[in-house]
């Protein structure tokens, strides 16, 4: 099971968060929200980590 830690406005930002968090050894999954057929620049994305590991992701984000 995956839980959202960030909700971002485009895929580029989602990938940046993914790189930062994965560089610390935590797996990340990006999930589109809404209708992705409208174009990626208009879609929002969830940055998700495994359930039970949210505290690790929050600590990584807080260090920035």
Pairing of strands 2-8, 29-33: unpaired
Question: Distance between CA atoms of 26 and 36, rounded to whole angstroms?
Answer: 26
Other CB atoms closer than 10 Å to residue 13's CB: what's the count?
14
8 Å CB contact between 28 and 21: yes
Q: What is the pTM of this model?
A: 0.84
Question: At residue 4, does pLDDT exceed 60?
Answer: yes
The 10s digit of each residue's pLDDT in 16-56 is 999 999 999 999 999 998 766 665 556 799 999 999 999 99
């Amino acid at each position: 099971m995956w839980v959202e830690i960030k909700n971002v406005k485009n895929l580029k930002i989602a990938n940046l968060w993914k790189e930062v968090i994965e560089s610390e050894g935590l797996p990340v999954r990006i999930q589109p929200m809404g209708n992705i057929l409208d174009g990626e620049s208009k879609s929002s994305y969830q940055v998700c980590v495994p359930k039970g590991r949210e505290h690790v992701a929050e600590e990584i984000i807080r260090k920035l």
